[in-house]
Amino acid sequence: MSDSSNTLPIYHREIETLFTRPVYGLNQVEKERMLLPALNSLHQHHQACCQPYHNIVSANEQCSAVDNIAKFPYLAVRLFKHLALSSVPKTEIFKTLQSSGTTGQMPAKIVLDKATSARQSKALVKILQATIGKQRLPMLIIDCPAVLKDKSLFSARGAGIQGLAFFGRDHTYALDDNMQPNWPVIEAFAEKYAGQPVLIFGFTFMVWLHFIQALVQLNKSLPFEQGILLHSGGWKKLEEHKVDNSVFKRIIAEAIGVRHIYNFYGMAEQVGSVFVECEQGHLHAPMLADVIVRDPYSLAPCEVGEQGLIQVLSVLPSSYPGHSLLTEDLGELLGIDDCLCGRKGKHFKVIGRLPKTEVRGCSDTHQGASL
């Protein structure tokens, strides 16, 4: 394998151009025209610097550059649980991100060099500021402080909290280390910032079980009418409790007053490329990433309105071949350049996990909640 530092000259130029574009301002044709050179550069780079990736695409005769996003080769996201996939020397590894996993299951390990880590942070800031604005708000984190204790091996939950912490100030953890609401801390935060804009972040099921349900059971409410809630993670357990997105939003509005509630879709294997929900309840692909829905049987691209497996593409990861991944999530492409919110590009929804695949997701990792 060749030196990773000499394989990305075109890529660096293309990605810098993409960073200057509005997050949702490019129509799909223009966006693909800009994404394709960067993705092809990454494709060639990972072939040159990651032997397993080279072996996989060679076996499938997918070595050469492609002329259409839909033709782009992909890895099954599950491979990161079984193979060490790196495109940089060990000496350049800055940190290792470990995906969530339940007991007895092998987590994925994602290696990041400083350039990829910085790129992911920059992208996350640009994408989320398009939704929540640039002001750093007082932040209530629906998790416990212990989740950040391991500084060398970052869990998906820890990495998510650390990434989102940039958008807030006066970071306050709502739960104690037993995952119980820390009521004195919560009430002090609420008293200090009552009626003011605040940012609340947590993984979806943890927000519901450990925070909202606890408030409902105690008949408590909080004065966060000016607040914004960002949440992410699987809906599997909520669906078992007959809680869909509309019920989730309604109960939260009743309990804490928050009406600006935004889900986002992302994964440890592609940190930084998050797909944020708009005011219409649709997930959107930002300028640095894209999504393709594929038929589960033929793997052909689906049309608008058809359900299939979600493929996610991102121009961010150069330290590992995570630029094109076929997930185990089912989704539906809802439209292209025509969402009523005005954002351009593809918008879609996530339906759930492919049946008979292992449960994973940031909010599914706390064993005490039987997730």
Domain boundary among 202, 235, 265: 265
Does residue 371 sit within a domain?
Answer: no
368, two tokens: 């005490």
Residues 81 and 217 in one domain: no
Domain boundary among 214, 244, 265: 265
Does residue 366 sit within a domain?
Answer: no
Band (112; pLDDT cuts 50, 70, 90): very high
Does residue 78 sit within a domain?
Answer: yes
CA angle 331, 39, 291 (to 5 degrees): 10
Residues 227 and 292 in one domain: no
Q: Can you tell me the distance from the alpha carbon of 280 to that of 270, in angstroms, rounded to the nearest whole number? A: 25
- Domain of 261, in residue numbers: 120-265
With 0-12 / 13-18 / 19 or more C-beta atoms within 10 angstroms meaning exposed / middle / buried, residue 164 is buried
Give residue-wise pLDDT tens across range 1-34.
Answer: 555 555 687 788 889 999 999 999 999 999 999 9
- Provide the CATH number for the domain around residue 212: 3.40.50
Residues 107 and 141 in one domain: no
Residues 136 and 253 in one domain: yes
Domain boundary among 241, 265, 289: 265
Residues 111 and 23 in one domain: yes
Give residue-wise pLDDT tens across range 96-106.
Answer: 888 765 445 67
- In this prediction, residue 104 carries a pLDDT of 52
- In this prediction, residue 358 carries a pLDDT of 47
Q: What percent of the chain has a predicted confidence (pLDDT) above 90?
A: 68
Helix, strand, or coil here: 19? helix
Does residue 185 sit within a domain?
Answer: yes
Does residue 80 sit within a domain?
Answer: yes
132, two tokens: 């929540």
Whether the per-residue pLDDT at 53 is higher than 70: the answer is: yes
65, two tokens: 């550059």
- In this prediction, residue 2 carries a pLDDT of 53
Residues 79 and 187 in one domain: no
Give residue-wise pLDDT tens across range 175-214.
Answer: 998 899 999 999 999 999 998 999 999 999 889 999 999 9
Greater model confidence, 171 or 61: 171
273, two tokens: 């490329």
Q: Can you tell me the distance from the alpha carbon of 86 to that of 159, in angstroms, rounded to the nearest whole number? A: 19
Residues 97 and 227 in one domain: no
Residues 62 and 108 in one domain: yes
Q: b vs e for 119-156, b when ≥16 Cβ sit within 10 Å of the residue's Cβ?
A: bbbebbebbbebbbeeeebbbbbbbbeebbeeeeebbb
- In this prediction, residue 234 carries a pLDDT of 67
Q: What is the mean pLDDT of the chain?
A: 88
Residue with tokens 């610097």: 49
Does residue 363 sit within a domain?
Answer: no
Q: Can you tell me the distance from the alpha carbon of 101 to that of 166, in angstroms, rounded to the nearest whole number? A: 25
Q: Considering its fold, how many domains does the chain have in total?
A: 2
Q: Can you tell me the distance from the alpha carbon of 71 to that of 180, in angstroms, rounded to the nearest whole number? A: 48
Q: Which of 53-67, 249-263, 313-327 has the lowest mean pLDDT?
A: 53-67
DSSP-assigned letter for residue 88: S
- In this prediction, residue 125 carries a pLDDT of 93
Give residue-wise pLDDT tens across range 54-76.
Answer: 999 998 888 888 899 999 999 99
Residues 213 and 321 in one domain: no
Band (163; pLDDT cuts 50, 70, 90): confident
- In this prediction, residue 364 carries a pLDDT of 44
Q: What percent of the chain has a predicted confidence (pLDDT) above 70?
A: 90
Q: Can you tell me the distance from the alpha carbon of 165 to that of 201, in angstroms, rounded to the nearest whole number? A: 9
- Provide the CATH number for the domain around residue 58: 3.40.50.12780
Q: Can you tell me the distance from the alpha carbon of 190 to that of 194, in angstroms, rounded to the nearest whole number? A: 5
Give residue-wise pLDDT tens across range 213-249.
Answer: 999 999 999 999 999 999 998 676 777 777 888 899 9
Does residue 177 sit within a domain?
Answer: yes
- In this prediction, residue 237 carries a pLDDT of 72
Residues 187 and 77 in one domain: no
CA angle 362, 320, 121 (to 5 degrees): 60
Does residue 367 sit within a domain?
Answer: no
Residues 167 and 257 in one domain: yes
Q: Can you tell me the distance from the alpha carbon of 292 to that of 288, in angstroms, rounded to the nearest whole number? A: 14
pTM of the complete model? 0.89
Residues 53 and 102 in one domain: yes
Q: Report CA-CA distances (Å) from 178 to 145, 174, 190.
A: 10, 11, 21
Whether the per-residue pLDDT at 359 is higher than 50: the answer is: no
